[in-house]
Structure 1
Amino acid sequence: MPQTQNKMRTFILFSVLLGIFLAVGSLWGTFGMLTALIFALLLNFASYWYSDKVVLAIYRAKIVSKKESPRLYRVVEKLANKAKLPMPKVAIMKSSNPNAFATGRNKENATVCATTGILDLLDNNELEAVFAHELGHINNRDILVSTISATLAGAIMILGRLAWFMSLGRNSRQGGNALGFLLTMFLAPVAAMIVQLAISRDREYGADIFGASLTKKPKYLISALTKISSAGSRHPMRLGNQASAHMFILNPFRAQRLAGLFSTHPPLAERVKRLEGLSL
């Protein structure tokens, strides 16, 4: 039931995002709408198709074998078999920030990555809980979901930027709907970003539910998240940037200080509350 409710919330958020795009696009006509959508799609397609290679390169993560990292490999292998998912590639990145992420365009081309910090910090049960969460992202196709939301939000922002440039022109105020023009410039891009971030937070809840259901031990995910949050605030990640923060199990850059509309992750307290309320 929680997983079904979570999917419904994501569907509603996507509907809102699509509604914003159609409302803004109607001011520009079909050609303007399609141009912005295609341009945004091209910008996001490469990052989606090569997501695993790009992200691993950015964070200097290395694909490891079972021999090189037997503990991590065994945990992922056990969970993948239990979830009936193809075995993803396993990677490790050097960072004192305790964290993990999953990437890849589909279940057959997925990679999970752990930082050296998380391997040092968590015990086996907690590590298993974290990677059950990461397999949840793979199972739920969250890379695809985030790409679609980024494409729609990007198209809206392109239209907003176009409106800004037009406002600099001599004829920007001749004809047309002045209120709609202002909404396109300012409010629509902000609204799109808020909805996109809400979708990102919703996918984190979904991965939490999947992970806890897979291990049947939500207390270990709660313990892991608490440890990661505490240690992460002392050791923020220096490599990378906020644009990729949504990929990690917890924000590695600001240690969950952003807990409102502009946060990529749900508040830790709310995640813990939902995990404690699960009936498994």
Structure 2
Amino acid sequence: MNFVKTGMLLAALTALFGAVGYALGGGTGMVVALGIAAATNLFAYWNSDRLALSAHGAQEVDDRTAPELVAMVRALAARAGLPMPRVYVMETEQPNAFATGRNPQNSAVAVSAGLLRLLDREEIAGVVAHELAHIRNRDTLLMTVSATIAGAVSTAAQFGFLFGGRSDGRSHPLLGLATALLAPVAAAIIQFAISRSREYVADRDGALIAGSPHGLASALASMERAATGIVNVPAEQHPATAPLFIVNPLRGGAIDSLFSTHPATANRIAALQQLAAEMAGGAAWRPAGAAPPHGSLPRSGPWSR
């Protein structure tokens, strides 16, 4: 059902782009709008990972610079049936993470230094597994496409309002103003709805990859508390990247509303609690703390970069 919903939302976003083009420029405007969408999507397809990682100052790490983190990602990627992604660390104290890349063969997982300091191994494993689920489900490409089309809708609407509407003389100033104001809002709502839908899927799939929902649920609670009090400067400077993160990196607004980039954390934890009950045959929810049941994750020595 989530995949059907996502497809419908993406189709609605594409249709909105065409409608904006038609409203501002008739048939020619719609063709131009779709051409812009194709060009921006092509650019995003090849460059989105590099741009996102660069925007957040992420530095690539390896077996020498972050052996435990890289070993954990490798073990979880093997469980998920994925090739080993590149691993990055963002120098921000806000605990958070995101995945990017056009396909599983060209993917990356980025976690913040604050996440490594705040969370324990099981929680970190849950977060990494969540991001690997995004990669396996190709959500990284989907979110890039939706963000690009949403941005193009906004640009097209503003451009049409500033430089005139349809060449056939049937444009109306009020219609142009309404399009310039409402089209970007509608595009953002659809983009955020796509993001929220994919987060629930990645939570469930990530919990299955990790072998338990407990670590991810505990991590979400800790990250939500910390994110409200720690400013993520790069995210505030590049708010369009917010839907990529596992929890909303922007200050204010984590409610499950039309304008939220993420589902409410309480709702996500409740869904993970339900999954825990299903996996345990109705056993009671327990707090995080123990290792995932499939104990192949590296756990030797103190956690470190």
Same fold (TM over 0.5): yes
Shift of 1:96: 1.1
The one-character-per-residue Cα deviations of 1:151-176 (angstroms, maximum 9, x if unpaired) are 43334334422441255x8x999535
Shift of 1:34: 2.1
SS for the counterpart of 2:87 is strand
The match for 1:175 is: 170
Structure 1 residue identity aligned to 2:266? A
> Which segments of 5 or more consecutive residues in structure 2 lack a partner in the other structure?
280-305
Query: In 2 relative to 1, CA 166–57 (structure 1 residues): closer, same or farther, beyond 3 Å?
Result: closer
Shift of 1:31: 2.3
> Which segments of 5 or more consecutive residues in structure 1 lack a partner in the other structure?
none
Shift of 1:178: 7.3
Moved more, 22-31 or 10-19: 22-31
Moved more, 71-80 or 31-40: 31-40
- Equivalences for residues 98-137 of structure 1 within 5 A: 98-137=95-134
The match for 1:200 is: 195
Counterparts of 2:183 and 2:53, CA distance in 1: 33
Structure 2 residue identity aligned to 1:122? L
Q: TM-score, normalised by structure 2?
A: 0.81
| RMSD across aligned positions (CA) | 2.5
- Equivalences for residues 223-238 of structure 1 within 5 A: 223-238=218-233
Aligned residues: 274
Counterparts of 1:29 and 1:173, CA distance in 2: 8
> Quick one: percent identity of the two aligned structures?
42
SS for the counterpart of 1:206 is helix
SS for the counterpart of 1:277 is helix
Counterparts of 1:262 and 1:183, CA distance in 2: 19
Shift of 1:127: 0.7
The one-character-per-residue Cα deviations of 1:189-235 (angstroms, maximum 9, x if unpaired) are 32122111111111211211210121231121110000111122222
* Pair 1:94 & 2:95 matched: no
Counterparts of 2:89 and 2:173, CA distance in 1: 52
Moved more, 238-247 or 179-188: 179-188
Shift of 1:106: 1.2
Shift of 1:52: 2.5
The match for 1:190 is: 185
> Retained in 1: the 8 A contact 2:147–2:240?
no
